[in-house]
Amino acid sequence: MRKLYIGNKNYSSWSMRPWVLMKQAGIPFEEVKVRFDSFAPDSHFKKTMGAINPVAEVPALVDGELVVWDTLAIAEYLAETFPEKQLWPRAAAERARARSICAEMHAGFGKLRSLCPMNIEASLAEVGARLLKDNPALQADLDRIVQMWSGLLDAHGGPLLFGGFSIADSYFAPVGTRIKTYGLPVPPAISAYIERVQALPGVKAWIDDALAEKDFVAFNEPYRTAR
Ligand SMILES: N[C@@H](CCC(=O)N[C@@H](CS)C(=O)NCC(=O)O)C(=O)O
């Protein structure tokens, strides 16, 4: 059985993407959770993941002898392995568009990622308001998300970014959790999309597990001192 190595469900946004993708698409896998004790070279996490892949990061997918790491590579491998699941949109132009926005997420949104790390269980609306006031680049990241999602929802009529579920929705699921955690203001149509994504069984399962985790990892918590 293929294994997906992931980090803490409350914090690990990169782990969330392929886990949600496989759950929602009905691709069987075994989850191996490696707790974030620290990212120091001698940490349990780095030693465990270093034995699995050369970058010692999660997520990593182990399928028989094959190890695939990095979220985008895992998504592409799954799309090739399970063509019948239609993980990318069917039409070539739509597929190219979906790949463009996933690559944009992969390489961009630096302020959203660094200032608003994923923390599903936390409620940090006051922090979010202060961060937005002090960081125009964070507002620019949020504006781009709103523009991207609005355009795609308008073009396809929803309910998801390319109509039905695709890799793109799994890619942006952790952005939806950040918008909620930090109370970042978005138009009603965008909030409604976030709610639809979070109601998908695969996404809901991750969020429920994250809420049940009840782990406090200080180095992932720039804004809290305890749960
Ligand atoms: N580009 C990578 C990023 C993966 C990543 O940053 N993973 C984090 C956890 S969410 C990690 O393993 N960090 C360990 C470290 O920084 O040493 C991907 O898409 O998989």
CATH number given to 92-210: 1.20.1050.10
Task: State whether the beta carbon of 18 lies less than 6 angstroms from ligand 1.
Answer: no
Q: Are 141 and 109 in contact (CB under 8 A)?
A: yes
Which band of pLDDT confidence, cut at 50, 70 and 90, is reported for residue 60?
very high
CATH number given to 3-85: 3.40.30.10
Residue with CA closest to ligand 1 atom 14: 57
Residue with CA closest to ligand 1 atom 17: 39
Which band of pLDDT confidence, cut at 50, 70 and 90, is reported for residue 19?
very high
61-115 pLDDT, tens digit each: 999 999 999 999 999 999 999 999 999 999 999 999 999 999 999 999 999 999 9
Q: Are 34 and 94 in contact (CB under 8 A)?
A: no
Task: State whether the beta carbon of 14 lies less than 6 angstroms from ligand 1.
Answer: yes
Q: Name the segment(s) of the chain with CATH classification 1.20.1050.10.
A: 92-210
Task: State whether the beta carbon of 45 lies less than 6 angstroms from ligand 1.
Answer: no
192-217 pLDDT, tens digit each: 999 999 999 999 999 999 999 999 99
Nearest to 201 by CA among 35, 26, 48: 26
Q: What is the pTM of this model?
A: 0.97
Q: Name the segment(s) of the chain with CATH classification 3.40.30.10.
A: 3-85
